[in-house]
Amino acid sequence: MRRTTIVVIGLSLVLTAAVTIAAGVGPYRIPPGDVIAAIAARLAGEDGDPNIATVLFRVRLPRIAAAIAVGAALSGAGAAYQNIFRNPLVSPDILGVSAGAGFGAVIGILLGLPVVVIEALGFIGGASSVILVAAVARMLPDRGNVLVLVLAGVVVGSLASAAISFVKIIADPYEQLPMITYWLLGSLSGVRLSDVLVVGPTVVVGLVPLFLLRWRIGVLSLGDDDARALGIDVGRTRVWVIGAATLVTAAVVAISGVIGWVGLMVPHMARLVVGPRFDRLLPAAILMGAIFMVVVDTLARTLARIEIPIGILTALVGGAIFVWLLSRTRLGGWRQP
């Protein structure tokens, strides 16, 4: 059996174990037996203990599903971006998707709109900032160059950040500002089943092009001229990757808020295990991202009596792991795009 196959099976088992443990722990104590009983009752179409059923099926499991979606999306998108931008320090935020989503959501909070609308605005903000980046990059003379795209991303991202800061100062300091702060720190505490039912399928749909084009995306890591000479339509492939990555990132950021580090760090972890070949890296990164987020979110909801915003934990855990990774991998040979 190929090494990658073994790794994928192994990671799937770890994810299953993580989900099982995560489903069993939480502030609301449900003994393992009751968890199984509740799931059995559910499958049998019976009611069981209503409180346990609500906690399990309305709160905990949707949240675990959301964590899986967030981790898979950010890590998959991050791996693809690191590959097409040929830079290890790239994360899914590089084209301004998080800042844009943040701006959309923060406007929604400022206007006092319902949660669903805020989430939708987050998604729209994230997607449109990437579209704006692409448009800006197209207007520039050196449009074929990925560096132009990255620079346009930096510009649009900082514009969106400035806009967020502006909203922060005009927002109500007692009601809206805490909400904005929490949103920007990222959290899955308010995730509902209905969110997962929309975002889960979106993430799956968005990851499909990455899977289908896995080999071609990998060849892009050779550089544009080489990849073209090997038969790849670089521009079109890149558009598909950016489109798919933006779709999944904007979708998860809309329900989770801004969560940093995952999309940057997890692909590096996966690289350490399966190597840089993208067709092997992608499944490993997606699974590891899902595991990482399930673990971190479980910590976020159990470490203290109140929620710890997940962005704080990912930065803390992610930063530490990243330094450890740097001490183990050779980044020296990476070239700038």
Partner 1 sequence: MSTRLRFEHVTIGNGGRPLVDGIDFDVAAGSVTCVIGPNGVGKTTLFRTLLGLVPPIAGRILLDDRDVATLRRTAIARRIALVPQSYQGDPGHAALDVVIMGRTARIGLFGGPVRQDEVAARRALDDVGMADLAGRPVGLLSGGQRQLVLIARALAQQAEIVVMDEPAASLDVGHRIALLRRVRAMAASGLTLFVSTHEPEQAFEVADRVAVLGPGARFEIGTAEDILTAERLSTLYATDLRLERTVSGRRVLVPAAPGHASLAERGSDAGPVPAGARPTAPMHLKKELET
Partner 2 sequence: MSTSTLRRSAGLFAQLATVLALAVGLAVPAAARMVVDSSGRHVEVPDAVHRVFAAGPPAAVLLYVVAPKTLVGWPRAPRADDLPFLLPGVRDQPELGRLTGRGDTINTERLMASHPDIIIDFGTLDDTYRSLADRIQAQTGIPYLLIDGRFGNTPAALRLLGDILGVSDRAETLARAAETAFAQVDQVLAKVPATERPRIYLARGIDGLETGSRGSINTEILERVGGVNVVEGVRDAGGIAKVSPEQVITWAPDTIVTIDPKLVELLRQRPEWRPVPAVAERRIFLVPQRPFGSIDYPPSVNRLIGLPILLHLLYPQRVTSDVHAEVRTFYRLFYQVDVSNDVIDDLLGAGR
What's the token pair of residue 200?
Answer: 């889960």
Distance CA 202, CA 197 (A): 9
The site partner of 162 among partner 1, partner 2, none (C-beta below 5 to 8 Å per kind) is: none
What's the token pair of residue 312?
Answer: 């704080």
Neighbours of 118 (CB within 10 A): 23
Binding mask 82-111 for partner 2 (x = CB under 8 A): ---------------------------x--
At residue 109, what is the residue type?
A: I
Which whole-number Å values give the CA distances from 256 to 63, 98, 116, 190, 250, in the listed order?
Answer: 10, 11, 12, 9, 10
- Regarding 228 and contact with partner 1 (CB under 8 A), the answer is yes
Whether residue 325 contacts residue 272, with contact meaning beta carbons closer than 8 Å, is answered with yes
Cβ at position 330, least distance to partner 1 in Å: 7
The site partner of 120 among partner 1, partner 2, none (C-beta below 5 to 8 Å per kind) is: none
Q: Write the DSSP assignment of 113-166 as a string of letters.
A: --HHHHHHHHHHHHHHHHHHHHHHHHHSTTTT-HHHHHHHHHHHHHHHHHHHHH
Binding mask 82-121 for partner 1 (x = CB under 8 A): -x--x-----------------------------------
Binding mask 109-148 for partner 2 (x = CB under 8 A): x--x-xx--x------------------------------
Of the ranges 34-42, 130-138, 149-157, 300-308, which one interacts with partner 2 (CB under 8 A)?
300-308
- Regarding 253 and contact with partner 2 (CB under 8 A), the answer is no
* Count of residues that interact with partner 2, criterion CB under 8 A: 38
Cβ at position 149, least distance to partner 1 in Å: 18
Nearest to 166 by CA among 177, 174, 156: 177
Rg (CA), the chain: 20
The site partner of 186 among partner 2, partner 1, none (C-beta below 5 to 8 Å per kind) is: none
- Looking at the Cβ atoms of 245 and 253, the one nearer to partner 1 is 245
- Regarding 59 and contact with partner 2 (CB under 8 A), the answer is yes
At residue 55, what is the residue type?
A: V
Distance CA 157, CA 130 (A): 9
* Binding residues for partner 2 restricted to 173-232, rule: CB under 8 A: 173-175, 177-179, 182, 187, 189-190, 192
Alpha helices (H) in 25-114, listed in sequence order: 32-43, 50-53, 61-84, 97-110
At residue 192, what is the residue type?
A: R
Distance CA 199, CA 204 (A): 9
Binding mask 295-334 for partner 1 (x = CB under 8 A): -----------------------------------x-xxx
Packing angle, helices 262-274 and 3-24, rounded to 10: 140
Query: Binding residues for partner 2, per CB under 8 A?
Result: 26-29, 50-51, 54-55, 58-60, 63, 109, 112, 114-115, 118, 168-170, 172-175, 177-179, 182, 187, 189-190, 192, 301, 304-307, 309
Q: Which residues bind partner 1 (CB under 8 A)?
A: 83, 86, 212-216, 218-219, 221-223, 225-226, 228-233, 271, 275-277, 279, 330, 332-335
